[in-house]
Amino acid sequence: MPQLNPAPWFSIMVMTWVTFALLIQPKLLAFSMVNPPSNKPSLTTKPTPWPWPWT
């Protein structure tokens, strides 16, 4: 069965991960956030009960 032969696919997988780790990942991590997170307290509202018409 040719699907069980890892010879061509293992090298492709290793080269893909090396490319991601060495070239693409540092470029992605260099971007700055457009909207940095803020320390605002979250506003929690108290839910109002639903006015059921049959009660």
Nearest Cα residue to 29 out of 37, 38, 20: 20
Task: Give the span between the Cα atoms of 53 and 55, in whole angstroms.
Answer: 6
Nearest Cα residue to 12 out of 20, 23, 24: 20
> Cα dist. 52→13, 24, 34, 46 in Å?
59, 56, 44, 18
Output DSSP code: residue 24.
I
1-27 pLDDT, tens digit each: 556 777 778 888 999 999 888 888 888
pTM over 0.85: no
